[in-house]
Chain A
Amino acid sequence: MKKPNRAEHEVDKTLDILNQMDRAKTDAFFYSRLENRMEEQSNESTSGWMIILPNWRYYALAMLFLLIFNVVSLFHYAYQYNQDIMQQETSINSVNAFANEYSTDLPILYPNQLNEEEN
């Protein structure tokens, strides 16, 4: 019988703590600390964007480089194409000249047939 009474007494004393408690209070500088934290958070969110921004610059630079590379390639290809055509024309001319010089043209054996095809 003694033990439960003691335990109950302890329980009552422990629960009585709730009646003894005062309200907890913050200090006078709470608002300053809150203001600092809000400022820090806003700076962090700004610097967060600043981390992304240089990346955008890199992306833009890469895009510009690709564009320049493509334009240069296009001009280079066009130049090469013209050169090839000119070279082709030169080689045809030289073949023709060679053929003329050595009279390697095929003799026209059937001029009448040729005239008929032309008509």
Chain B
Amino acid sequence: MDVAQKQDAGLQDSELIKELKQRSQHAFRVLVEQQKDVVYNTCLGFLHNPQDAEDVTQEVFIQIFESIHEFREDASLSTWIYRIAVTKSLELLRKRKRKKRMAYFKSILNLDAEPDDYEDQQYFEPPGVALENQERAEILFRTIDTLPENQRIAFVLHKVEGLSYKKVAEVMETSLSAVESLIHRAKKNLKLRLKTYYEQQDL
């Protein structure tokens, strides 16, 4: 959200933080309306599932409301929100991975394993992508998911969320050169993995 929109909303960051710390419902609503799409798009970039992205977006705002008094303002409010969104999304992915691992071990031991709902869910259809490219989009995001975590975070924030390298560095609490390196390696790995995939398809 740009400054003009914030002014339209009637609250600047500092005022907004001050009012949020006073647990103002109005300030919270303004914040949600300002940042909901940003948070949702970020979460969807990691989770690739609209329901999960909506759930995590809600959790992000609940955490903001509950822990705004812990916000020390050494970073901007939006950077702090991005950090929470990334952390929450990765937490859910780790939880899913653990559940999947447990189900696998249970199946080995012939115990009754709960069916993994996540596996049954259809892959999301990225907005703006033509219908004939949906399958290609799924391949792309499944390959992005295989990247090392730091490369994935940097890549998604830059390519999906459209953040600058500087902003990505702030969110990841790292240097600009580190982010440049992460994104460069992410692109290289992604190309290599996709190439391997398509070559295997040809065989």
Task: Please give the residue numbers on chain A whose beta carbons come within 8 Å of chain B beta carbons, in ascending order.
Answer: 3-4, 6-8, 10-11, 13-15, 17-18, 20-26, 30-31, 33-34, 37-38, 41
Contact = CB atoms under 8 A, between A and B. Distances in A.
Interface of B: 29, 32-33, 36-37, 40-41, 44, 50, 53-54, 57-58, 61-62, 65, 126-130, 133, 136-137, 139-140, 159-160, 162, 190-191, 194-195, 198-199, 202
Given A14-B139, A37-B62, A7 B33 contact: no
Given A11-B194, A31-B29, A24 B139 contact: no
Contact of B194 (A10, A21, A24, A37): A10
The dominant DSSP class at the B interface is: helix
Given A7-B202, A14-B140, A30-B36, A22 B128 contact: yes
B137 to A, nearest CB: 5
A18 B128 contact: no
Main secondary structure of the interface of A (DSSP, over half): helix
A13 B65 CA distance: 42
B37 A23 contact: yes
Contacts of B33: 31
Contacts of B139: 14
